[in-house]
Amino acid sequence: MLEFHPLQLEDLPKLRDFFAYSGSRICDTTPGTVFMWRDMYHTEWAIYDGSLYFKVDYPGLGPTFTLPLGGGRPEHYRQIAGYCCRRDMPISFYPVPKDELDRLQTAFPNSAAIPTRDAYDYLYRAEDLQFFRGKKLSGQRNHVNKFLKTYGNWSFRVITQEDLPQVGAFLDRYAAGVDKPSASFHEDLAKTREVLANYATYDMLGGMLLVEGEIVGFSLGEIVGDTLFTHIEKADRDYQGCYQMLVAQFAQQFAQEGVHFINREDDAGDLGLRKSKLSYHPVTLLEKYLVTVDEPCKFCDLQEK
């Protein structure tokens, strides 16, 4: 029987190994994404029979379940159906990657699947973001060349514990100059500060771009499977080509052997961000679906009720 608990940062070390079972390249099944957005989405977790379950309350969707990590799908579905049956609530799965959709709907034939375009992740070939080769990426390459010509004394370094106060000071300057009314923007800033304050716990990969010894941008992410996920990226737009340079340097530093793709996450429906992410020419968009199931009691054993 599933018993859910509010997700806390101190849970990360004991839950981290479960994320290796993801089998998907979507960002929603990475430690960084799950823990950074746990408060905004009221994330809860449960472990049953060696598998990790998350219940997430997305705005406008109500309680949903991500696809559990570990074990076998039929047992996962039976446990979730039993949980929902006992509470007389419909089953909602979100986000469901496209490659899991058929299997999920085979298990729940009366389900409905709705694509959520604003949540689609942008997936790139690692080599494309490392070097911006070819005609289609000439615009990004030109921005990098402009940066190189304009700022001769630049460097890119891996972030260490000793660098964290300086990175935090840059984040404060960034936040003072860029303000948006959305709750997600401010939550992103708050959780970026949390990551920096708990750098060892999050265990992310970090790199910072400097000009004349001053930070002008930094990125934080992690590798799961063959994919490098960029969770956080902040740069000073007053420096021409700064973002493109940061993208390339972060990819060159961390997309090493065995890393073939880079996930730069979704655009959240922001048309400006969508245009920017498309300009890097993703190899694909990772589709995500909301799947809802009526009458959950049809799908669980009587003893589970």
Long-range contacts of 186-195 (CB under 8 A, 24+ apart): 187/37, 187/39, 187/40, 188/36, 188/232, 191/36, 191/37, 191/39, 192/220, 192/232, 192/234, 193/168, 194/9, 194/36, 195/32, 195/36, 195/220, 195/232
**Mean of the per-residue pLDDT values for the chain?**
94
The CATH number for 196's domain is 3.40.630.30
At residue 71, the pLDDT reads 77
> Is the pLDDT at 305 greater than 80, yes or no?
no
Pick the residue with more confidence: 35 or 73? Answer: 35
Question: Are 62 and 166 in the same domain?
Answer: no
Residue type, 95: P
Question: Are 162 and 277 in the same domain?
Answer: yes
What are the phi and psi torsion angles at 257 (to 5°)?
Answer: -55, 130
Instruction: Quote the pTM value.
Output: 0.94
pLDDT 10s digits, 115-132: 999 999 999 999 999 999
Question: Are 132 and 251 in the same domain?
Answer: yes
Domains contained in the chain, number: 2
Estimate to the nearest angstrom the gap between the alpha carbon of 180 and the chain centroid: 20
| Residue range(s) defining the domain that contains residue 75 | 5-119+287-304
Question: Are 136 and 251 in the same domain?
Answer: yes
Residue type, 157: R
Pick the residue with more confidence: 237 or 110? Answer: 237
Three-state secondary structure readout of 85-127: HHCCCCEEEEEEEHHHHHHHHHHCCCEEEEECHHHCEEEEEHH
Question: Are 165 and 251 in the same domain?
Answer: yes
Share of the chain above pLDDT 70, in %: 98
Question: Are 58 and 153 in the same domain?
Answer: no
Q: Are 244 and 235 in contact (CB under 8 A)?
A: no
At residue 303, the pLDDT reads 39
Question: Are 83 and 112 in the same domain?
Answer: yes
Token digits of residue 23: 């089998």
Using CA atoms, how far apart are residues 26 and 31, in angstroms rounded to an integer?
Answer: 12
At residue 234, the pLDDT reads 98
pLDDT 10s digits, 184-243: 899 999 999 999 999 999 999 999 999 999 999 999 999 999 999 999 999 999 999 999
Question: Are 174 and 161 in the same domain?
Answer: yes
At residue 301, the pLDDT reads 59
Question: Are 137 and 261 in the same domain?
Answer: yes
